[in-house]
Amino acid sequence: MVKHHPPTDFLTEYAAGVLPVAQSACVAAHLSYCQRCRQTVGKLEDIGGAHLEQLDPQPVGESVLERVMARLDDPEPLRYATSETSETALPGLLDRLINGDYADLVWKRVTQSLSISYLKTGDPNHEFALYRIAEGGRIPEHTHGGSEMTLVLRGGFADESGEYHPGDCVVREGWDKHTPVALEGEECICLAVLDAPLRFTRLRHRWLNPLLKLRAG
């Protein structure tokens, strides 16, 4: 049962189609876990439908209708199928980005218990990465200069403000410090979307900070 949800601001921007692509992908992945947010987004989309009906209609030439009618028998474009062999059991969209199994990704080891794999979304302002934390492992205390959106995909973690399980989505803004620790029993894999780099705050970890410069794109 998913207990942590993206703030309504994010869901509204998502429903209006104005949320940046990296954050949209994270929200979409959360929606695949969370019926409550799916319903909320449905309602927020109703606001879009209602607005559409209220617009001042703009004349459309007959030639546009003719061109559409002429294309009705065109074959439909093919869509990507979710791979059946994947072992990640992930929402289809993440499966597409990961394109295989966790093991096939390039993992960059940051500390003994933390590895990061950067995925490409094309978003020029947000880093989109998977964090892999060994069971019981700790991410050193850190802060962000901006916003951090985290979605648990496997295992779970706890920090100063709670415990998070698959499907849970947490958004943090600004300079809150926190020290996530993976739960015992299973490694934890999270999706993290950042608009400013992670900054370790403790002296003995700060030398790692240059390794963590933001990789948007």
Partner 1 sequence: MANEKDAGNAQAANGNGKWNVPTGRRTDEWSTALVLIGESQDRGAFTRFFRHFAPLIKAFALSGSSLSATHADELVQEVMLKVWQKAGGFNPEKAAASTWVYTIARNCRTDMFRRLQKFDTPLASDDFELESEDEESFVVLHTRRGAERVRELMGDLPPDQAQILGKVYMEGKSHSEAAAELDLPLGTVKSRVRLAIQKLQGLMEA
Footprint of partner 1 (CB under 8 A): 8-9, 12-13, 16-21, 24-25, 28, 31-32, 35, 38-39, 42-61, 64-65, 67-69, 71-72, 74, 76, 79-80, 92-93, 96-97, 120-124
Instruction: Enter the tokens of residue 18.
Output: 């104005």
- Whether the CB-CB separation of 144 and 194 falls below 8 Å is answered with yes
**Closest separation between CB of residue 162 and partner 1, Å?**
23
Q: How far is the CB of 5 from partner 1 (least distance, A)?
A: 15
Closest separation between CB of residue 48 and partner 1, Å?
4
d(CA 92, CA 28): 10
- Minimum distance of partner 1 from residue 168's CB (angstroms): 18
CB of 198 to partner 1, least distance (A): 23
CB nearer to partner 1: pick between 65 and 211: 65
Measured distance CA(139)–CA(112) in Å, rounded: 10
Which CB atom, from 133 or from 194, has the smaller least distance to partner 1?
A: 194
Taking a C-beta distance cutoff of 8 angstroms, is the pair 215, 129 a contact? yes
